[in-house]
Amino acid sequence: MIHLAALITQKPLRDLSALPKLGDEVAWFDADTLAAVSEPAVIVATWLGEDGAVASEVLKKRAEAGRTTILVPRFKAGDLRPILKSPAAVKIRLGAFDMLRWQDEEEFGVSGQTVIDTPLHAGHWGHAAQGSLVVFAYRPHEAAGHIVLCTASLTSRQAGVKVAEQRRLLHKLLAAVNVGQPIKPVAPAVVPLGPVATLMDFLADGDRDHAATAFLVAVCDGRRDPQVLAGMAKRMGFDVCGETLSAALARMPDAPLDELLAGLRKCGWSAYLRRSRQLLPEGDDA
């Protein structure tokens, strides 16, 4: 299942008119909340010119927390380096195309009106037939989340562009950034630290393993047994190791189940909570 996030102020835009048909659910947030939610965020690039300082800060926070952000048309011609804080220019220029080809040669019938010029060599995921770059994934460093510039008409209704092709392209993009699961696999053992002061500090500290562990505890009705949580993680389709769960539980403060559920919803985990209710029969024991 694909859960996406977007700016509430952009909900009326025609540029996002196809977005609800591309994922299983789209949640709409203000800018401050969008910076913190775990779902991939889809943002119309006009926002970069309308409120550049805020946009740059949101992109920075999401990238530093390992979260994926996808910028979609409309793009304004110019250099996005001041917004992205990239080490070299990332220029948008006019250039129409009818289809794009992924780096593995798979083709998508999605058109666009702008292309990307940059000397940065990494993240060149998609090109137009004439060779111009049209999907560029930028990361400030290797541990950061991707900021993906997609100048193809991914989320708007365009003549001659099928929703099925847009959906296929979105799936390809999300697979490339590996955001299919809310828990990142961590192999090395972690030395447990003491619990943090409050539940919200634990949930909002930027470590997705912490929020994911809290989610599993909530689904298991407050139980904190690592074996029980690992079993539930497997049932939910998550990839998580026991050392990660134990380390996160050592840092997670005690909290009533209702407070835990409220905190998860506030931090953008509502979609996963709804998904758990769909996957697990009511009254099913962990």
The pLDDT tens digits for 131-150 are 999 999 999 988 899 999 99
pLDDT score at 187: 38
Percent over 90 (pLDDT), the chain: 57
Q: Are 98 and 73 in contact (CB under 8 A)?
A: no
214: amino acid identity, one letter: A
205 band by pLDDT with thresholds 50, 70 and 90: low
For 73, the token pair is 């048309």
Instruction: State whether residue 175 is helix, strand or coil.
Output: helix
Query: Could you tell me which residues come within 8 angstroms of residue 162 by beta carbon, excluding any fewer than 6 positions away?
Result: 109
d(CA 252, CA 237): 22
Q: Is the pLDDT of residue 286 over 50?
A: no
pLDDT score at 191: 42
Q: Is the pLDDT of residue 171 over 60?
A: yes
d(CA 75, CA 72): 7
pLDDT score at 196: 75
Q: Is the pLDDT of residue 87 over 60?
A: yes
Helix %, strand %, coil % of the chain (to 5)? 40, 20, 45
More confident residue, 241 or 233: 233
For 114, the token pair is 């702008």
d(CA 128, CA 154): 14
Buried b / exposed e across 185-197, counting CB within 10 Å, b at 16+?
Answer: ebeeeeeeeeeee
DSSP string, 196-253: PSSHHHHHTSS-HHHHHHHHHHHHTTT---HHHHHHHHHHHT----HHHHHHHHHHPP
Q: Are 135 and 150 in contact (CB under 8 A)?
A: yes
pLDDT score at 32: 93
pLDDT score at 45: 96
| Helices 242-251/208-219 angle, 10° precision | 90
Mean pLDDT of 13-31: 92
Mean pLDDT of 74-85: 95
pLDDT score at 181: 37
pLDDT score at 194: 62
Structural domains in the chain? 3-177 (3.40.50.880), 199-279 (no CATH)
In the block, which residue shows the tokens 């008409």? 153
pLDDT score at 111: 95
Query: Does the reported pTM lie above 0.75?
Result: no
Q: How are beta strands 69-72 and 41-44 bridged, if at all?
A: parallel
pLDDT score at 146: 95
Q: Are 255 and 264 in contact (CB under 8 A)?
A: no
Instruction: State whether residue 50 is helix, strand or coil.
Output: helix
pLDDT of 239-255, one tens digit each? 667 777 888 888 889 98
- Altogether, the residues listed in the chain come to a count of 286
